[in-house]
Amino acid sequence: MKWNKYIFSLIFTLVSVCAVADDSIPSTAPTLSTYDKHVQRYRRHWESLIPKHIVIQNAGNMGALSVGTGWDYGKNKQWETQLLFGYVPKHQTPRAKLTMTVKENYVPFNINLNNAFYVSPLTASIYINTIYGHEFWKSQPDRYPKGYYDFMSTKFRINIAVGQRITWRIPYDKRRNSKSISLFYEVSTCDLYIRSKIVDGNVPLKDILGLSLGIKMQTL
């Protein structure tokens, strides 16, 4: 019995010493090599090219319907860059046409309504739009008097817009392809319409402003 107590005490002491010694070993993260750091940067840069949202928008001098994708960035994700392709029905022209738009949005702040919804009281946008077709030109054709359309083009339009949004944060357990959905509207105009207003002050605002509606689905 006496030996049993002695052996038990010795085992307990050895286990305690080993535990203390193990705790005293500092846990340090592995040091990354120069190559590992390069790989991390490389992956991070390529991952930043992955589109973060999908946009569907009608009108806005981009076509009857435009569909595209975009990226948001900035400290509070207040900046957005979007690439959209639009469709213009033939209407009174011989054929339908396609458009392409590069758009930059700025959303300065949001207001939370509750845990599910928030509002963006102001959005500001500037975008360049082009329409595909041989009947549209980049520089003034010779058939016009010199300097008549010297700084204008029917191939490209510069647009500005302001609007508002309301966003629904999809509950985590109900998310499938998106984590939030935004509905928005914009009031826009383009350089050609602004020029018309400057040249002829009698042109009403309703003739140079357009209303556009859209939906944005945040995928990442």
- 119-177 pLDDT, tens digit per residue, is 999 999 999 998 876 555 455 545 555 555 555 556 788 999 999 999 999 999 999 98
The C-alpha atoms of residue 113 and residue 193 are separated, in whole angstroms, by 37
Find out whether 56 and 64 touch, Cβ atoms under 8 Å: no
| CA distance linking residue 156 with residue 127, whole number of Å | 10
Question: CB within 8 A of 87, min separation 6: which ones?
Answer: 63, 64, 65, 66, 96, 97, 98, 99
In eight-state DSSP terms, residue 173 is G
The pLDDT of residue 184: 98
Closest CA to 212 of 101, 110, 138, 95: 101
- Confidence tier at 48 by pLDDT (50, 70, 90): confident
For the ranges 5-9, 121-125, 196-200, the maximum mean pLDDT occurs at 121-125
pLDDT of residue 169: 96
The first and second tokens of residue 216, run together, are 């944005």
Around Cβ 117, how many Cβ atoms within 10 Å?
Answer: 13
Q: What H or E segment, with its residue span, contains residue 12?
A: helix 2-23
Confidence of residue 24 (pLDDT cuts 50, 70, 90): very low
CATH 1.25.40 fits domain 48-218 = no
**CB within 8 A of 205, min separation 6: which ones?**
197
User: Within 13 Å, how many C-alpha atoms sit on residue 61's CB side?
Assistant: 29
SS3 string, 174-211, reads HCCCCCEEEEEEEEEEEHHHHHHHHHCCCCCHHHCCEE
How far apart CA 167 and CA 116 sit, in angstroms, is 8
DSSP 66-117: EEEEEEEESTTS-EEEEEEEEEE--TTSSS-EEEEEEEEEE----EE-SSSE
Q: Quick one: which of 126, 51, 132, 125 has its CA closest to 85? A: 132
